[in-house]
Amino acid sequence: MNPNKALWEKGDFTRIAESMRESGEALVESFGIRKGLRVLDLGCGDGTTALPAARLGADVLGVDIARNLVEAGNRRAAKEGLANCKFQEGDATDLHELADHSFDLVVSIFGAMFAPKPAEVAKELVRVTRRGGRIIMGNWIPNDPTLVAQILKISSAYAPPPPEGFVSPMTWGIESHVVERFAGAGVPAEKISFARDTFVFNYPTPPAALLDEFRKYYGPTMNAFEAAEKSGRAADLQKELERLFESQNRSPRKDATSIPATFLRVTVAP
């Protein structure tokens, strides 16, 4: 099986996404969505950004490589009666099922960054966006001191070395790489803008409980723990991550979690 698909189907990202709903909504409110806008949400998970876009009246297609997340997204949309929000399986590196220039807005928040072959991903993002439309990506930033970049950094130190030719997803958080990838898709640098933005992970229990969700349900952390168990270092990994989650928690309440994480917001106008 495609290892990228296996990674995300192995866990259950809906458990983590529960802590991301408020920021997902706030982010989508900044997109200037109006009724009837055709939106593609790529690497949509269970709809953290797709559902808010549909609530604002957009016609939304969520595409994700993980079957379990596509099913969860369709269930959430049906529960809310959002007939304008559909989810289907697809791979950001090859969106052959989608027509050229068919979306006004293509959104990928911490989604397409996880696909291999970033040059292909950039080409597909540009191909499916209509002329005069927009692409908005949210990408974690390598070596950033906040939560997700640190989880991925710590986890990779315990995981086996990646296969040869592997391109780190975190390179989507480096502006020069983003410019180069979109240049390869025919979009000049002046059509790309960058901003730092923040996503807050809110959870109604202490940070250790959110970490527990990452350990049990977030593919990259699950893999790191599996590898650390084999090398007898699982307790060290747990300790490092506990320290991280505790030190980043900004909730004034001891029994709750509120952790901000910085990301690179990329806007492309092809």
Ligand X SMILES: C[S@@+](CC[C@H](N)C(=O)[O-])C[C@H]1O[C@@H](n2cnc3c(N)ncnc32)[C@H](O)[C@@H]1O
| Residues in touch with ligand X (CB under 6 A) | 4, 8, 13, 17, 20, 43-45, 48-49, 64-66, 69, 91-93, 109-111, 114-115
The backbone torsions φ and ψ at residue 94, rounded to the nearest 5 degrees and listed phi first, read -155, 95
**CA–CA distance, 117 with 115 (Å, rounded to integer):** 7
Whether 242 contacts 99, CB under 8 Å: no
Comparing CB distances to ligand X, the nearer of 196 and 230 is: 196
Q: At what angle do helices 234-248 and 207-217 cross, to 10 degrees?
A: 130
CB nearer ligand X, residue 84 or residue 221: 221
Residues 6+ positions from 116 with CB-CB distance below 8 Å:
4, 93, 166, 167
CB atoms within 10 A of CB 33: 21
Residue 149 C-beta: closest distance to ligand X, Å: 13
Minimum distance from residue 197 beta carbon to ligand X (Å): 13
Q: Which amino acid is at 161?
A: P
Q: Minimum distance from CB of 27 to ligand X (Å)?
A: 9
CB 162 → ligand X: shortest distance, Å?
15
Between 69 and 211, name the residue whose CB sits nearer to ligand X: 69
Nearer to ligand X, 158 or 263 (CB): 263
Nearest CB to ligand X, comparing residues 117 and 233 = 117
Alpha-carbon dihedral sign for residues 21, 27, 30, 35 = negative
> Closest separation between CB of residue 110 and ligand X, Å?
4
DSSP state for residue 172 in the 8-state scheme: G
